[in-house]
Amino acid sequence: MHLLVNGIRRRITGEIPVPNSKYHAHRALILASLADGVSLVHGLSDARHVEYTVQLLRGLGVRITRDGGTFVVHGLGGRYTPRREAVSAGSSGTTLYFMIGLASLSDRAVAVTGQKYFRRRPVGPLLRALEQMGVRLESADDCPPVHVQGHRPSGGHVTIAGTLSQWISGLILLAPFATGHTTIEVEGELNERSYLELTVAMMRQFGLEVTVSEDWRRFDIEPGQQARTVELTLPPDIGSAAFGIATAALHPCDVLLRGITTLQGGPADHPEFHFLDIARSMGVPMEVDERAGGLRIQQDAPRLTAVDVDCRDVPDMLPILSTLGTFAQGESVFRNIAHTRLKESDRAAAMLQLNSMGGRLQLSPDELRVRGVDGLDGAKLSSFNDHRVLMSLAVASSRARGSSTLTYPNAYRISYPTFLDAMNTLGVPMSVEKGSAGSAQAGTRAGRPEREAVDPEAASRITLTQWLRRQAVTRPDETAVVDVRSDHDEVVTWRELADQVDRTAALLLRLGVRPGENVAYQLPNRIEFVVLSLAALRIGAVCCPIIPFFRKREIGFVLRRSRARVLVVADRHRSRRPAQEVLDLAAKGGSDLRLEHVVVLATSGGSAQLPQTSVSGTTVHDWLQALETTSIDRAALDAIVPTPDMTAQLLFTSGTTSEPKGVTQPTRNLVRAVSMEMRHLGLGEQDVIWVPSPLAHQTGFLYGMVLALVLGVPQILQPDWDAKRALQSLNEHRATFVQAATPFLSDLVKAVQESGETPRHLRIFVATGAMVPRGLAERAGRVLGADVCGAFGTTETCLGALSAPGDEPRQRWGSDGRALDGVELRITDDEGRVLPAGKEGNFELRSPTVFGEYLDRPDLTAEAFTEDGWYRTGDLATIDTAGFLRITGRVKDVINRGGEKIPVAEVEQLLFGHPSVEDVAVVAMPDERLGERACAFVVPGGGAQLTFEEMRRYLDGHQVAKQYWPERLERIDALPRNPIGKVKKFELRALAHGLRPHDEDAV
């Protein structure tokens, strides 16, 4: 399902009622529950978040009924009587933050929890502050569920960060019921003061006294207070009205928002009242119509001007203000937004999707700049299940050319249940639809991903051949593959792809390939790679791709191990002639090569340049000619029925530390792996997959080609890596997702910074293949306007850990992710004992996508697993209490300096942050006295050369133990890397052999 919004170019008219304030409702219900007797709260709020507060209070024994539009609350006088062992805050942050501490007023222990995804919401600072107040609680990972003992708090001196007002409000609400005096002091920057003012004002209305300092950073509350019963009426909700105001601001209109009867007010009236002042300053023509009982907006020609806003007072208004700024003349600046990125989603980053519609937004960690544009185009958008993001993007889409679609279409019900009715009342067509979520500009899709696609167990029972057949039937004329060439783009539909696969499968049968046989091919990222892979799978054969720049030695190794009889190669790759190289290899290979057919593909189209050399027993074919002379025997093709358990892929590991090993994977593992990622990241039919990584490597093959196939969306291929061309193709083809290694991320960031052009549609960049410097990841998120997600995976295991857009930013890009559903991670010591959270050790995992075996190497297969069946990754790592993985190095990369193990990854991360360092790797150099010392290989950057002494001062300034400092600095033009971006440290160790420390007395 999706929310469909049709852009309009007409006058809008009508009147809509403004719902009552959910902010007042939360506080009124909670305070009434603490009073001794019956309170009446008039002006019922139907917001789902308020309902979560009602349900949680009922779970604590509070009787709450409804009489027409009134809540009738039977307070318990500050003593809850839980009906069950656990109560849920649902998905309401306000409910969660307010009620964790108040649950201590129960007469027995109770757990406060939330919906599944809400159990990853970090509340550590609030928990520490509650503990300072004397609340007895436990949480395994500083996230819900929080187990709270029924023990009245003692009060005391409490400190809390000013990040979120709800944390502070939760403390203030509890303090009057403590047994001793409470002082609450705010540390650091204070955000959202207006919400605190509302909390204190409403507490005073219920007879609870709070003394507040002038700067609102200190609160003194006397103990043993008693809340009194009240009767009050909830005021109109400015936060909901903002969407009607913004819609009217963007169109010629005559709109009445019934219920708002004044333009004067403050936090006690509503914490977001300041929005009205901002809207008026932007030029929204608002006047109170006393006779009609509401706020009227009338205009014939919308004209907005830019603003400069401090968002600490109106944090929840950032999404809708971004929409207004997009249509304002000049540049609007929204400052102090960091805490808005900790809401239901990263709201600042989410609004960057306006760039995919033609907007001009730039995001830095604490500032969002929005330049006005003349118009927008319809697009496919994600709401991230955030009610304010959904409604703000929907309002923007009402002014776009064409139609737009948004995911999680019912998220608006959380705070503004009548939003859809209000918009349609005004004449803005919005509806929740099933099926296609295409935009007028981008074309439409035949439907959402099939239910099985995001169910790993169900998906894995369907072969890749069956997935292709499904897509060709359900979306025959939609784009399946885009092959980005230097002079043009080849575009292939699903119907065309299926036809090409059948013809190529027939060719393979003609060449004698049979089920279970390995088909080798060395091709760049081209449509033919996709076709050949699916053709091999069509007849039950095994895909054995070879990295394009491998030469005779590596190709010979693969051909000997795979015993492939058919090889497909390009006639040219850069300055090389791969076909000729293969024939030379075959001429010298003797009986250990079984190569019978070499099929040569023309790099530039047309007929291939065939090698002149002929080899006895090996036939050379031109790709196009071979296909044209092959007839399709449907009966023969359909007689072969591959199963999910059949081997689908043979990939050889990169061989950075040892001889490459042939990894076999069945179809069920590959399909399950991409389904797990889809579900983890929320990928859907609105996405377009960009594939810069080599398809011959697992990252490109699985999380590019196979992912797009199962999801039923386009894949954008780029044969030759060029960051500027990549940026152009990203925007031309509206790519939203990419999974690639560190060099691709780094080059793309540079291209954006140099050109000023941004990837307007990119949502998610999953960084894999090698440890991503945290500084680069954080910078990339800002520069690209996308969520950079850390991940861990191997050829043997597929992805095992992955962060997600909804994770806290520093966990999202500052870790290697958390376990996907169905995957188990652990850290052990050298004796196999499992280590506690935070301890470094050997990283092991267990997953349903772990490989079958190393080809012809049962000895290596056995070595790869522990006695209890866990895969040994060969990495050192830690796992924190929240389950986030951090790779700290390779076991074989450890530098043992006289018995002291140097934390290589930590030192590399620090050095990467130096402005004169473009890239860095630290390896061991042999030493007679200490065994090993550390040598840093540095690629200079920033126009300056890092000296050895400057490096030492830099590490000293970061409080790094001297024993960990590299004792030699070597400058190098580029670090040697394998095709997926991993540094070939064995080559660097060879370079370091024989080197001596710069100063043996320095450490």
Task: Give kind and range of the element (H or E) at residue 615.
Answer: none
The Cα 389–Cα 398 span in angstroms is: 14
Judge whether 294 is annotated as a binding position.
no
Judge whether 93 is annotated as a binding position.
yes
904 and 844 co-located in one domain: no
337 and 394 co-located in one domain: yes
Is the peptide bond prior to 836 cis by the omega test (within 30 degrees of 0)?
Answer: no
Report whether pLDDT(758) > 50. Answer: yes
Indicate whether 467 belongs to any domain: no
CATH number of the domain at 744, please: 3.40.50.12780
143 and 32 co-located in one domain: yes
Q: What percent of the chain has pLDDT over 70?
A: 94
Query: Quick one: pLDDT band at residue 622, thresholds 50, 70, 90?
Result: very high
Angle at 332 between CA 331 and CA 335, to 5 degrees: 135
Task: Calculate the alpha carbon distances from 912 to 710, 786, 905, 954, 955 in Å.
Answer: 38, 22, 10, 11, 11
Indicate whether 443 belongs to any domain: no
Task: Give kind and range of the element (H or E) at residue 919.
Answer: strand 917-927
Judge whether 166 is annotated as a binding position.
yes
13: β partners: 254
Q: Which of 843, 868, 889 is the last residue of a domain?
A: 889
Q: Alpha helix (H) ranges present in 232-385? A: 238-249, 274-281, 318-326, 347-350
Angle at 503 between CA 498 and CA 504, to 5 degrees: 95
Query: Quick one: pLDDT band at residue 426, thresholds 50, 70, 90?
Result: very high
Report whether pLDDT(986) > 60. Answer: yes
Indicate whether 525 belongs to any domain: no
307-336 pLDDT tens trace: 999 988 788 899 999 999 999 999 999 998
Judge whether 388 is annotated as a binding position.
yes
Let me know: does 818 contact 801? Beta carbons within 8 Å: yes
Indicate whether 206 belongs to any domain: yes
Task: Tell which residue, 311, 321, 366, has the closest CA to residue 809.
Answer: 366
Query: Quick one: pLDDT band at residue 266, thresholds 50, 70, 90?
Result: low
DSSP 19: P
777 and 849 co-located in one domain: yes
For residues 598, 603, 604 and 607, what is the CA-based torsion angle, rounded to 10 degrees? 0
Identify the pLDDT of residue 1000. 54
Report whether pLDDT(269) > 80. Answer: no
Identify the pLDDT of residue 51. 87
Residue 831, φ and ψ in degrees, nearest 5: -95, 0
The Cα 642–Cα 505 span in angstroms is: 13
977: β partners: 983
816-850 pLDDT tens trace: 999 999 999 999 998 999 999 999 999 999 999 99
Q: How many CB atoms lie within 10 A of CB 639?
A: 9
The Cα 935–Cα 149 span in angstroms is: 53
Report how far Cα 549 is from the mean position of its chain's Cα atoms: 31
Report whether pLDDT(440) > 60. Answer: no
Higher pLDDT, 385 or 448: 385
Query: Is 366 a catalytic site residue?
Result: no
Judge whether 121 is annotated as a binding position.
yes
The Cα 563–Cα 998 span in angstroms is: 50
877 and 904 co-located in one domain: no
Indicate whether 241 belongs to any domain: yes
146 and 241 co-located in one domain: no
Identify the pLDDT of residue 442. 33
680-697 pLDDT tens trace: 998 888 899 999 999 999
CATH number of the domain at 969, please: 3.30.300.30
For all residues of the chain together, what is the average pLDDT? Answer: 88
Task: Give kind and range of the element (H or E) at residue 512.
Answer: none
| Domain carrying residue 942 | 894-992
- Grouping H, G, I as helix, E, B as strand and the rest as coil, residue 633 is coil
Query: Quick one: pLDDT band at residue 553, thresholds 50, 70, 90?
Result: confident
Judge whether 839 is annotated as a binding position.
no
Q: Alpha helix (H) ranges present in 792-934? A: 809-814, 858-863, 904-912
Identify the pLDDT of residue 49. 81
Indicate whether 354 belongs to any domain: yes
Judge whether 43 is annotated as a binding position.
no
917-953 pLDDT tens trace: 989 999 989 887 677 899 999 999 877 889 999 999 9
**Pairing status of strand 566-570 against strand 518-522:** parallel
Identify the pLDDT of residue 267. 61
Report whether pLDDT(342) > 70. Answer: no
Catalytic, out of 313, 316, 377, 875:
316
Report whether pLDDT(111) > 50. Answer: yes
150-177 pLDDT tens trace: 999 999 999 998 888 899 999 999 999 9
Q: Which of 867, 889, 911 is the last residue of a domain?
A: 889
**Pairing status of strand 294-299 against strand 304-305:** unpaired
101: β partners: none
**Pairing status of strand 689-691 against strand 662-666:** unpaired
Let me know: does 379 contact 355? Beta carbons within 8 Å: no
Mean pLDDT of the 799-811 span:
88
Mean pLDDT of the 500-505 span:
96
Judge whether 228 is annotated as a binding position.
no
Let me know: does 871 contact 796? Beta carbons within 8 Å: yes
For the chain, the distance separating the N- and C-terminal CA atoms, rounded to the nearest angstrom, is: 63
263-277, 432-446, 514-528: segment of lowest average pLDDT:
432-446
The Cα 943–Cα 344 span in angstroms is: 41
For residues 372, 373, 379 and 382, what is the CA-based torsion angle, rounded to 10 degrees? -10
The total of structural domains in the chain comes to 4
Identify the pLDDT of residue 173. 97
Q: Which residues of 105-133 are buried (b: 16+ CB within 10 A; e: fewer)?
A: bbeebbbbbbeeebebbbbebbbebbebb
Identify the pLDDT of residue 793. 93
950 and 882 co-located in one domain: no
List the beta strands (DSSP E) in 56-142.
63-67, 70-76, 86-88, 110-113, 137-138
For residues 520, 526, 532 and 537, what is the CA-based torsion angle, rounded to 10 degrees? 100
Judge whether 205 is annotated as a binding position.
no
91-100, 209-218, 416-425, 432-441: segment of lowest average pLDDT:
432-441
Identify the pLDDT of residue 710. 96
297 and 330 co-located in one domain: yes
Report whether pLDDT(447) > 50. Answer: no
Report whether pLDDT(759) > 60. Answer: yes
CATH number of the domain at 267, please: 3.65.10.10
Indicate whether 518 belongs to any domain: no
Identify the pLDDT of residue 451. 66
Is the peptide bond prior to 145 cis by the omega test (within 30 degrees of 0)?
Answer: yes
Identify the pLDDT of residue 446. 35
Judge whether 604 is annotated as a binding position.
no
Indicate whether 285 belongs to any domain: yes
871 and 901 co-located in one domain: no
Q: Which of 837, 867, 889 is the last residue of a domain?
A: 889
268 and 216 co-located in one domain: no
749 and 876 co-located in one domain: yes
84 and 217 co-located in one domain: yes
Higher pLDDT, 416 or 487: 416
